[in-house]
Amino acid sequence: MSEAGFDARALRDAFGAFPTGVTVVTAHDASGRPVGFTANSFTSVSLDPPLLLVCLAKTSRNFETMTRAGKFAVNILSETQKDVSNTFARPVEDRFAAVEWQKGPEGSPIFADVAAWFDCSTEQVLDAGDHVIMTGRVKAFDNSGRNGLGYARGSYFTPALAGKAVSAAAEGEAQLSAVVERDGDILFLGDDVLSLPTCAMEAGEPAQALRDYLQALTGLSVSIGFLYSVYENRTDNRQHIVYRATATAGDPVSGRFLTPAGALQQKLDSAATSDIVRRFDLENSIGNFGVYFGNETAGKVHPVSRKA
């Protein structure tokens, strides 16, 4: 696709394939009122001198305040702070009422329980299309050792939780499955009895192996998302790892897309599959997903919200 023909939404989705951390950038306005916004366009720039940068949309309600404040702080959110991210991404009148914070050494708001924070003086504000790039000189910082909150393809993820789940499942004989979604429908295999596409987990990266299997199976381009379920099936004595995935348009070579409600009216291969389909239907409708850990009958869902 040429530059002249770029679709803004498609370009944004492509940028979203790169996993990032999540930050809240904060400052004070001229009257001393704290302001802040959620940003994943953050990166380190230099160690000597200590510099970092964040990007700010020119349409942001905080644009004038942030670019004129002369200083700002970057709070790298921990994996338990999805609600903080959502609060500062919305047009809430008093965002700071929902978070514990204090002034940092340079005076900008610093949040409690973050993975790390940086208190900066503004070095430069550089024009960059519909955004500006704010570079900051780090005057003070702290690193709590907590894991950061991750974000990619429109959803949050928690790296420690995902890594622990895959490692645990890989200790035994494991199978990989996918809830392959397209416009709210799910890909199923079978005619009389429906099942989710599944393959054996072998050596290597599980998400890549699952993607290769799904693309060969369907003939479609498939993107693997985040973990959805990790459970032990005591009937077959196997660990099952289920990912969310999305597929491009077109008729699949194998399988068919059905609405979750329509699939639940037919015979499914297991109670575990039925539970996965019901949960996906509910979570997809409200935009709040989770990762299930347990066995085929009992477990716990750890919420992993979609960005508001």
- Which pLDDT tens digit goes with each residue over 107-143? 999 999 898 999 999 999 999 988 999 999 999 999 9
- Tell me if residue 299 falls in helix, strand or coil: strand
pLDDT of 307: 42
- Which pLDDT tens digit goes with each residue over 269-303? 988 899 899 999 988 887 777 766 766 566 666 65
What domains can be seen in the chain, in order of their start residue? 3-152 (2.30.110.10), 155-305 (3.90.79.10)
pLDDT of 295: 64
Most confident segment among 73-87, 129-143, 154-168: 129-143
- Which pLDDT tens digit goes with each residue over 211-227? 899 999 999 988 887 77
The mean per-residue pLDDT over the stretch 223-244 comes to: 78
CA distances to 24, 76, 306 from 82, rounded to whole Å, are 11, 11, 9
pLDDT of 165: 54
Alpha-carbon gap, residue 74 to 52, rounded angstroms: 9
Residue 172 or residue 195, greater confidence: 195
Residue 166 has pLDDT above 70, yes or no: no
**Residue 126 has which token pair?**
């550089």
pLDDT of 109: 96
Burial of 224 (0-12, 13-18, 19+ CB in 10 A): buried
pLDDT of 181: 92
